[in-house]
């Protein structure tokens, strides 16, 4: 007889790492052995110094605080949310806990037996690496979105995740090593630390490390009066020195510090005290090394209380994007991660703005991100495109309700501007009263655009087709989406005009296959990547996917992937278009990072011959896609 509880547990676990790396049989076995535990708010799950339990924890629902106690004060190290693993020490160390955990609210926990899970670690290095990373930082892996869903490993051609995502990174240790002899007095040592502005000094003998003194040692041993300030450092130093080689990973460094109860590691040439010390790793270095971890950034965003804090986090997000570009990670992964970070930022801006409003929202509403953010393609700080839809209101309360949401939207738009997202030049933003309307008004507005498919209305529809809900009531957005598809189906003339618009920008190559450059203005002699390449390939994908009445796929390369599935005869071309979209997006992102702008215009002199050839191949694909549109919608003589 099927164990229905175990089946439900397995269904839940398989959406989270590292369980999606298990085989169905392994997942079934674990699910049958798991104990489900309910805890009320404020319960201690384990404490520092407690013997390790014979299981670790998976948080199914609720929130848990990970903390340490220092001088009777509680220091929060992390907050675990749904899908987080914690209490992993028994899997690796098996002695006593170095941290404590308590519930912040009512929780449902899965207790996973060590005896059952350990063999699976030994047979799967990816799981072991993930758990080591989690033990070190109490966080998800890089390839997890804020919803807890894992990015599909099959997304990558090699059918495995990029190495950068699941291999443990090497610690960026400090090469500025301050040292002294063992006969140095504590007073002289303290003066040296103050002058050099360091928190630790290595004690050496014949250039080999024999001990270490930290600022904590001086506070505990000298300031307390236990030792005289003229004492030689050899009497208070920590010895022997815990040493590691330069290739030590973040996870190894965390484990070593936890195991030995220390906050500094000495880096030597061969990882032993028998060779010269060349650097130092502190607990602070490890925290900094995790600063650009997407999950840390998401948590920092959700905990921010001021726009000023969000601005600092945005700088880290851009640094993360730079790292991704340098590592040449797949654009599918990059766009997903940046979308989640942008989406979390938008949510936080809305929450902060709501907190400043004089009253709670008068009715249900939804904030829609449009354009590139709606397509999950806004990697750089480009301009805003957004809208608000709210519940239908009686005539007597509509004006006040509308004014409330316009005021809220203007506050959100202003916060996003401070974070680097420019105002939309066409004012397609929720702060514009025309882009902040009730559900029925939006339906009427969209019907009007479809019934009168002139150039301006086509543009407005194109922006609106690429939407994603960032905050609020999903049913409002779904209802609007249903209306959009129904309306388009009833007006075939609109699709025909949409097709004409999609081929307005032909191949961006001239008669001799030379790039068509801007002939005048601020960007004279530069190539407009957005107008001549990204817009045509994006418009084509939108048109063709609408023709198949496919909903809820807004990303351009995902649209082409779906088209390849729906139209086997054109499979190769659509997959080429998917690839071309990623190439063009990567070009724009790299140009934007290099020039600190939105990456729209490219100076061709900055491109190598190989890069120019790659661009031209993308243009050939765009031309082929436009040929399909001309034939399909009988627009052969349109241009």
Q: What is the DSSP letter of 238?
A: B
Q: What is the DSSP letter of 606?
A: G
Confidence of residue 620 (pLDDT cuts 50, 70, 90): confident
Final residue of a structural domain among 445, 471, 490? 490
C-alpha dist (Å) from residue 57 to 62, 132, 138, 383, 434: 13, 15, 12, 43, 50
Q: Is the peptide bond before 240 cis (omega within 30 degrees of 0)?
A: yes
Secondary structure of 475-524 in HEC code, one letter for each residue: HHHHHHHHHHHHHHHHCHHHHHHHHHHHCCCCCCECCCCCECCCCCCCCC
Residue 504: per-residue pLDDT: 84
How far is the C-alpha of 119 from the C-alpha of 567, rounded, in Å? 45
C-alpha dist (Å) from residue 21 to 10, 24, 151, 234, 272: 13, 9, 12, 50, 36
% of the chain at pLDDT higher than 70? 87
pLDDT tens digits for 11-52? 888 878 788 788 888 899 999 999 999 999 999 999 988 888
Give the CATH number, domain containing residue 381.
3.30.460
Same domain for 93 and 208: no
Residue 49: per-residue pLDDT: 86
The average pLDDT across 298-326 equals: 87
Residue 160: per-residue pLDDT: 33
Same domain for 466 and 377: yes
Instruction: Please check whether residue 210 lies inside any domain of the structure.
Output: yes
pLDDT tens digits for 585-601? 999 999 888 888 888 89
Widest pairwise Cα distance in the chain? 94
Give the CATH number, domain containing residue 238.
3.10.580.10
The average pLDDT across 59-80 equals: 78
How far is the C-alpha of 635 from the C-alpha of 332, rounded, in Å? 33
Residue 605: per-residue pLDDT: 82
Which stretch of 250-264, 315-329, 490-504 has the lowest confidence by average pLDDT?
Answer: 250-264
Which of 376, 294, 288, 393 lies closest to 335, judged by CA? 376
Confidence of residue 316 (pLDDT cuts 50, 70, 90): confident
Which of 66-80, 203-217, 256-270 is most confident?
203-217
SS3 85: strand
Residue-level length of the chain:
639
Residue 144: per-residue pLDDT: 29
Instruction: Please check whether residue 576 lies inside any domain of the structure.
Output: yes
Same domain for 506 and 470: no
525: left (phi over 0), alpha (psi -120 to 50) or beta: left
Instruction: Please check whether residue 60 lies inside any domain of the structure.
Output: yes
How far is the C-alpha of 423 from the C-alpha of 199, rounded, in Å? 45
Write 484-491 long-range contacts (CB < 8 A, 24+). Answer: 484/446, 485/549, 485/551, 487/446, 487/447, 487/450, 488/450, 488/546, 489/549, 491/450, 491/451, 491/453
Same domain for 504 and 485: no
Q: Show the tokens assigned to 526.
A: 């530069």
Same domain for 558 and 481: no
Instruction: Please check whether residue 413 lies inside any domain of the structure.
Output: yes
Q: Is the pLDDT of residue 537 over 90?
A: yes
Q: Is the peptide bond before 418 cis (omega within 30 degrees of 0)?
A: no
* Number of domains within the chain: 4
pLDDT tens digits for 396-417? 999 999 999 999 999 999 999 9
Instruction: Please check whether residue 151 lies inside any domain of the structure.
Output: no
% of the chain at pLDDT higher than 90? 41
Residue 135: per-residue pLDDT: 57
Same domain for 273 and 206: yes
Q: Regarding predicted confidence, which is higher, 261 or 546?
A: 546
Residue 2: per-residue pLDDT: 58
Residue 137: per-residue pLDDT: 46
Same domain for 484 and 506: no
Residue 43: per-residue pLDDT: 94
Which of 61-70, 86-95, 282-291, 437-446 is most confident?
437-446
Residue 639: per-residue pLDDT: 46
Q: Regarding predicted confidence, which is higher, 54 or 354?
A: 354
Same domain for 53 and 96: yes
Instruction: Please check whether residue 152 lies inside any domain of the structure.
Output: no
Residue 624, class by beta-carbon neighbours within 10 Å (0-12 exposed, 13-18 middle, 19+ buried)? Answer: middle
Cα-atom radius of gyration of the chain, to the nearest Å? 29
Residue 412, class by beta-carbon neighbours within 10 Å (0-12 exposed, 13-18 middle, 19+ buried)? Answer: buried
Residue 444: per-residue pLDDT: 95
Residue 311: per-residue pLDDT: 92
Q: Is the pLDDT of residue 532 over 50?
A: yes
User: What pTM did the predictor assign?
Assistant: 0.59
Final residue of a structural domain among 237, 259, 282? 282
The average pLDDT across 105-120 equals: 89
Q: Which domain holds residue 419?
A: 351-490
- Indicate if the alpha-carbon torsion angle 393, 398, 402, 405 is positive or negative: negative
Confidence of residue 82 (pLDDT cuts 50, 70, 90): confident
Place of tokens 């001309």: 630
Which of 157, 158, 159 lies closest to 575, judged by CA? 157
Same domain for 468 and 523: no
Same domain for 525 and 614: yes
Secondary structure of 345-410 in HEC code, one letter for each residue: HHHHHHHHHHHHCCCCCCCCEEEEECHHHHCCCCCCCCCCCEEEEECCCCHHHHHHHHHHHHHHHH
Q: Regarding predicted confidence, which is higher, 168 or 528?
A: 528
Instruction: Please check whether residue 154 lies inside any domain of the structure.
Output: no
Confidence of residue 138 (pLDDT cuts 50, 70, 90): very low
Final residue of a structural domain among 490, 511, 542? 490
Q: Is the pLDDT of residue 279 over 70?
A: yes
How far is the C-alpha of 320 from the C-alpha of 314, rounded, in Å? 10
Give the CATH number, domain containing residue 10.
2.60.120.10
Q: Are 87 and 56 in contact (CB under 8 A)?
A: yes
pLDDT tens digits for 352-368? 999 999 999 999 999 99
Q: Is the pLDDT of residue 448 over 70?
A: yes
The average pLDDT across 192-199 equals: 86
How far is the C-alpha of 229 from the C-alpha of 217, rounded, in Å? 12
SS3 53: coil
Residue 168: per-residue pLDDT: 44
Q: Is the pLDDT of residue 272 over 60?
A: yes
Instruction: Please check whether residue 531 lies inside any domain of the structure.
Output: yes
Q: Is the pLDDT of residue 289 over 80?
A: no
Q: Is the pLDDT of residue 108 over 80?
A: yes
Give me the phi and psi of 635, to 5 degrees please. -115, 25
C-alpha dist (Å) from residue 542 to 7, 101, 382, 459, 534: 39, 49, 20, 12, 12
Same domain for 484 and 513: no
Q: Is the pLDDT of residue 567 over 50?
A: yes
How far is the C-alpha of 92 from the C-alpha of 484, rounded, in Å? 54
Which stretch of 251-260, 452-461, 523-532 has the lowest confidence by average pLDDT?
Answer: 251-260
Same domain for 275 and 185: yes
pLDDT tens digits for 164-191? 332 346 777 888 889 999 999 999 999 9
Q: Is the pLDDT of residue 344 over 50?
A: yes
Residue 517: per-residue pLDDT: 78
């Amino acid at each position: 007889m099927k164990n229905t509880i175990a089946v439900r547990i397995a269904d839940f676990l398989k959406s989270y790492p590292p369980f999606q790396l298990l085989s169905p049989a392994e997942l079934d076995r674990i699910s049958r052995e798991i104990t489900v535990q309910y805890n009320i708010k404020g319960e201690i799950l384990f404490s520092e110094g407690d013997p390790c339990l014979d299981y670790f924890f998976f948080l199914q629902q609720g929130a848990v605080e990970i903390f340490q106690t220092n001088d009777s004060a509680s220091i929060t190290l992390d907050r675990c949310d749904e899908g987080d693993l914690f209490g992993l020490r028994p899997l690796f160390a098996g002695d006593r806990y170095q941290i404590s955990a308590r519930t912040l609210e009512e929780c449902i926990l899965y207790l996973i037996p060590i005896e059952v899970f350990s063999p699976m670690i030994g047979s799967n290095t990816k799981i072991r690496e993930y758990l080591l990373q989690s033990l070190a930082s109490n966080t998800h892996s890089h390839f997890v979105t804020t919803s807890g869903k894992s990015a599909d490993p099959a997304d990558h051609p090699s059918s495995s995740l990029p190495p950068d995502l699941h291999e443990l990174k090497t610690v960026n240790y400090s090469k500025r090593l301050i040292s002294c002899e063992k006969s140095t007095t504590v007073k002289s040592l303290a003066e040296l630390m103050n002058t050099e502005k360091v928190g630790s000094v290595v004690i050496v003998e014949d250039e080999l490390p024999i001990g270490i003194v930290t600022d904590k040692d001086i506070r505990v041993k000298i300031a307390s009066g236990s030792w005289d300030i003229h004492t030689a450092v050899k009497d208070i130093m920590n010895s022997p020195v815990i040493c590691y080689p330069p290739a030590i990973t973040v996870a190894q460094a965390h484990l070593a510090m936890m195991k030995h109860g220390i906050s500094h590691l000495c880096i030597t040439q061969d990882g032993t005290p028998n060779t010269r010390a060349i650097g130092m790793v502190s607990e602070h270095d490890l925290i900094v090394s995790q600063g650009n971890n997407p999950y840390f950034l998401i948590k920092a965003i959700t905990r921010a209380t001021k726009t000023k804090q969000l601005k600092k986090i945005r700088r880290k997000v851009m640094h993360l994007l730079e790292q991704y570009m340098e590592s040449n990670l797949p654009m599918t992964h990059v766009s997903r991660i940046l979308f989640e970070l942008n989406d979390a930022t938008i949510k936080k801006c809305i929450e902060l703005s709501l907190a400043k409003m004089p009253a709670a929202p008068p009715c249900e509403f939804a904030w829609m991100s449009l354009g590139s953010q709606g397509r999950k393609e806004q990697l750089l700080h480009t301009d805003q495109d957004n809208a608000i839809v709210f519940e239908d209101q009686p005539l007597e309360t509509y004006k006040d309700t509308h004014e409330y949401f316009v005021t809220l939207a203007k506050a959100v738009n202003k916060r996003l501007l401070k974070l680097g997202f420019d105002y939309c030049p066409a004012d397609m933003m929720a702060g514009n009263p025309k882009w902040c309307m009730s559900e029925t008004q939006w339906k009427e507005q969209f019907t009007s655009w479809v019934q009168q498919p002139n150039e301006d209305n086509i543009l407005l529809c194109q922006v609106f087709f690429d939407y994603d809900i960032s905050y609020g009531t999903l049913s409002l957005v779904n209802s609007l989406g249903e209306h959009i598809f129904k309306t388009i189906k009833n007006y075939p003339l609109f699709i025909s005009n949409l097709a004409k618009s999609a081929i307005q920008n032909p191949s961006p190559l001239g008669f001799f296959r030379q790039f068509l450059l801007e002939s005048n203005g601020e960007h004279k002699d530069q190539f407009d990547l957005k107008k001549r390449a990204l817009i045509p390939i994006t418009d084509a994908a939108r048109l063709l996917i609408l023709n198949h009445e496919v909903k809820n796929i807004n990303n351009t390369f995902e649209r082409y992937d779906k088209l390849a599935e729906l139209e086997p005869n054109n499979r190769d071309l659509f997959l080429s278009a998917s690839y071309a979209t990623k190439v063009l997006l990567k070009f724009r992102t790299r140009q934007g990072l290099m020039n600190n702008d939105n990456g729209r215009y490219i100076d061709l002199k900055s491109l190598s011959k190989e890069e120019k050839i790659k661009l031209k191949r993308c243009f050939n694909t765009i031309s082929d896609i436009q040929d399909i549109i001309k034939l399909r919608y009988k627009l052969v003589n349109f241009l």
